[in-house]
Amino acid sequence: MTNNGSMETTGPVTTAHGTLHGKAALVTGGSRGIGAATALRLAREGADVAVTYVRDAEAAEDVVRAVRALGRRAQALRADAADPAEAAGAVERAALALGGLDVLVNNAGIGVLGPLEQFAPADVDRVLAVNVRGVFLASQAAAARMTEGGRIITVGTCMTQRVPGPGGALYAMSKAALTGLTKALARELGPRGITANLVHPGPIDTDMNPANGPHAAGQASMTALGRFGTAEEVAATVAHLATAAYVTGAEFAVDGGHAA
Residues forming a β-bridge with 59: none
SS (H, E, C) the chain: CCCCCCCCCCCCCCCCCCCCCCCEEEECCCCCHHHHHHHHHHHHCCCEEEEEECCCHHHHHHHHHHHHHCCCCEEEEECCCCCHHHHHHHHHHHHHHHCCCCEEEECCCCCCCCCHHHCCHHHHHHHHHHHHHHHHHHHHHHHHHCCCCCEEEEECCHHHCCCCCCCCHHHHHHHHHHHHHHHHHHHHHHHHCCEEEEEEECCEECCCCCCCCCCHHHHHHCCCCCCCEEHHHHHHHHHHHHHCCCCCCCEEEECCCCCC
Q: Of 1, 94, 142, 171, which one is the catalytic site residue?
A: 171
* 246 part of the active site: no
Active site residues: 171
